[in-house]
Structure 1
Amino acid sequence: MKTEMPLSKPIRRILVHTEEMLDTEVSLLRQPEAEPGGTLVDKYTYDIDSNVIIFPAQYVGLLKDFVIAKHCTHLLIKGAAAKKGDYKVCSYTADSVFSGMRQIYFDALKDEAKKENKLPVQKLLQMLFILFSHFNDDINEIPWNAIINADVYHRMTKIRKTQLYHIMKESKNDMDEMMEQESIVPRRYFVLNKAMFYARDMYLAKTLPADELMPVLNIPQMKKFNHLEVKEMLTTRWTHTAWYQSKVFGDNMLSIIEKPLGPVNWKEEPTLDYYYDLYKVGKLLTDNLIGYMTMRDWFVWEPPKHLLDAHDHKAEYEKDALKRIFGDLITDTLEGS
């Protein structure tokens, strides 16, 4: 463990446990510009020899403890899968990018047909891969976020209030995603994006448990649904809104999340097999969410290096997909970009 910063006994224990179980080293790094939720840079994902947990320099006390515990748990899940020779992530290929962008384009056309102010063609084309990438990022993050937070909650009792505070802030930030682009993004994808975060937050609200984390209490746009009767919610006034649709899809996704996570014994001995089982549950959960969103041909399970390589080739994947969708019609646009 490379750090000179003061650490509480529980955090020292989880760091030592992580290092011993995975036979690796974990370093802690404060950075003023670090992401609010911290960042894990690990050897199972990147071509490096050790693991670094980066968190904001201003984090102290229990907030620092929670971020470290969260990333240690994630590292244990990744490391356990890697040691079993089975660590994969949701990546993409030229063919899967084509499938995703084509579907987004078809859905965008349906939306554009109903609009008075049409989206400029160039912006529409740019949106296709941006939206595809956005869902790739989310599907690689949201299922694991739910699992990691549930595990930390059951194992680190002294930081539960801090955990709730952090999750509530994270929830509001996540729900703010795409807000400025609501009129641009096809309704289907705006709804699915919000539904995933809604389902995650509802699951955590039940798991912690913490009613204040429920989206109908925590998210301003959803508070209107808190006291509505079912009959009133089914009126045209509400059913045509994106936020109502997000709630409906989110409730379905909540069931998808709860089904594989329900049997998990969170107080089981934290062995390598335990964390590998969590990885398998997370993978199943991810597959189920992808299937529900009809995105099975968008992503492929591959080793982390495959995803890093895909990121390096994303520009050519995007151009190739546009050419396959639009043929010669796209040539001038691509050459001018």
Structure 2
Amino acid sequence: MASYNLSPELRDLIDLAREMLDTEIFLHRRTDVPTQGLLIDDYTFRTGKNVIAFSSSQLGMLKDFVIAKQCLILLARGIAAKNNRYRVLSFENQTALAGARQIYLDTLKDENTRKMEMWRKKQLIFELFLLFHETLSELPLTILANIVIAKQYPVMRNAQVYSLLKGSMRDMHDLVPVKDFIPQRYFVLHNGMFYARDMLMAYILSEYKLNPVINIPELQRFRNLDVKEMMTHRWSRSIWYHTKVIGDAMSNILKLSVNYDFEREIDPDYFLAVYECCVDIVNRWLVMMAMQDWYT
């Protein structure tokens, strides 16, 4: 394994993962890797090896944070697999059909998409179905990895806060360019998951600036509004208002799932519990979004 000037804390974590999983971990620095890093693990992709890639633009503790986050995700998946508990969020013909049918019905109800050409609707159904599959496959365990870092690796705190702030701005605006071409419901639900992440991490890290109503410009207008004002017609038509309402609800659900002592000593049972928390988050969010029949 190349050195890449890793911090002692990260080296210890990688050594721990290699020992617990009895496997080698390969690190790769590449120019085409997203800023959040990339994990290609054998447990999910059956590649025969575990690779963590990070952006060549990242240096110092920011690089270490990105690698540590992916390493913790690897540990959770690996320990779950060793206990025959790991399951990849997937779908079959019947479940995909249920999701496609619901998205299609929503395109008929929403004024943005009601008159859309059929070929565009078909493309939209496919893209939205896969978008939520990807987010639900990755986000919950990423949230939990961030919690573990916050509790177990405080040396990475500054890099973590910086990464979360940048990531929040990116994630909350991913769908903005197409918000007028998709049913509002899906913009709100997708952003609501990232809103919930940011609210939880703001609480855990005691970082007020991570709160989305502070960090996200479109949500800042709701910062000092009371409930009566927010229920007025003016705000009730705002897609960002609905994002806040749904995001607050998803944040409350998230707190119910993250019911574990993340400060306890790390061992295999620790990572199995982290994975079980992930499963609980996915199941609760699927029920809330009425998508429990979409995936298996």
Bin for the TM-score computed over the shorter chain? over 0.9
Could you give the per-residue CA deviations for residues 19-60 of structure 1, whole angstroms, max 9, x where no partner exists?
011111111110011111110111111222221110011211
| 3-state DSSP of counterpart to 2:166 | helix
Residue 72 of structure 2: aligned partner: 73
Residue 12 of structure 1: aligned partner: 11
Aligned with residue 141 of structure 1, among 129, 138, 154: 138
Could you give the per-residue CA deviations for residues 112-150 of structure 1, whole angstroms, max 9, x where no partner exists?
4xx599322221121011111001011112211211100
Residue 249 of structure 1: aligned partner: 246
Q: State the one-letter code of the partner of 2:266.
A: P
Aligned with residue 125 of structure 1, among 100, 113, 122: 122
- Give the 3 Å change call, closer, same or farther, for CA 158–128 of structure 1 in structure 2: same
| 3-state DSSP of counterpart to 2:20 | helix
Residue 276 of structure 1: aligned partner: 272
Residue 48 of structure 1: aligned partner: 47
Q: In structure 2, what is the Cα distance between the partners aligned to 1:298 and 1:51? A: 29
Q: In structure 1, what is the Cα distance between the partners aligned to 2:78 and 2:98? A: 32
- Give the 3 Å change call, closer, same or farther, for CA 13–116 of structure 1 in structure 2: closer
Task: Give 1:1-337 correspondences, 5 Å limit.
Answer: 2-112=1-111, 118-261=115-258, 263-300=259-296
Cα deviation, residue 208, structure 1: 1.1
Q: State the one-letter code of the partner of 2:205.
A: L
Q: Give the greater-gyration-radius structure (CA).
A: 1
Q: In structure 1, what is the Cα distance between the partners aligned to 2:130 and 2:4? A: 37
Q: State the one-letter code of the partner of 1:163.
A: Q
| 3-state DSSP of counterpart to 1:177 | coil
Higher RCO (CA-CA < 8 Å; seq separation 6+): 1
Q: In structure 2, what is the Cα distance between the partners aligned to 1:135 and 1:18? A: 29
Q: In structure 1, what is the Cα distance between the partners aligned to 2:96 and 2:121? A: 16
Q: State the one-letter code of the partner of 2:48.
A: D
Q: State the one-letter code of the partner of 2:72.
A: T
Q: In structure 2, what is the Cα distance between the partners aligned to 1:144 and 1:7? A: 23
Count residues in correspondence.
296
What residue ranges of structure 1 are gaps of 5+ in the alignment?
301-337
TM normalised by structure 1 equals: 0.85
Could you give the per-residue CA deviations for residues 45-79 of structure 1, whole angstroms, max 9, x where no partner exists?
12222211100112111011101110111011001
Could you give the per-residue CA deviations for residues 60-109 of structure 1, whole angstroms, max 9, x where no partner exists?
11011101110111011001100001110210111111100100111110
What residue ranges of structure 2 are gaps of 5+ in the alignment?
none
Percent identity, aligned pairs only, is 38
Residue 322 of structure 1: aligned partner: none
| 3-state DSSP of counterpart to 1:92 | coil
Q: In structure 1, what is the Cα distance between the partners aligned to 2:114 and 2:236? A: 23
- Give the 3 Å change call, closer, same or farther, for CA 128–7 of structure 1 in structure 2: same
Q: State the one-letter code of the partner of 2:47.
A: I
| 3-state DSSP of counterpart to 1:27 | strand
Structure 1 residue ranges, 4+ long, deviating more than 6 angstroms after superposition: none
Could you give the per-residue CA deviations for residues 238-265 of structure 1, whole angstroms, max 9, x where no partner exists?
012111111111111111100121x311
TM normalised by structure 2 equals: 0.97
User: Does the CA-based 8 Å contact 2:113-2:183 persist in structure 1?
Assistant: no
Q: State the one-letter code of the partner of 1:244.
A: Y
- Give the 3 Å change call, closer, same or farther, for CA 163–116 of structure 1 in structure 2: closer
User: Does the CA-based 8 Å contact 2:73-2:145 persist in structure 1?
Assistant: yes
Q: In structure 2, what is the Cα distance between the partners aligned to 1:64 and 1:269? A: 25
Cα deviation, residue 174, structure 1: 0.5
Q: In structure 2, what is the Cα distance between the partners aligned to 1:180 and 1:264? A: 38
Could you give the per-residue CA deviations for residues 295-326 of structure 1, whole angstroms, max 9, x where no partner exists?
011000xxxxxxxxxxxxxxxxxxxxxxxxxx
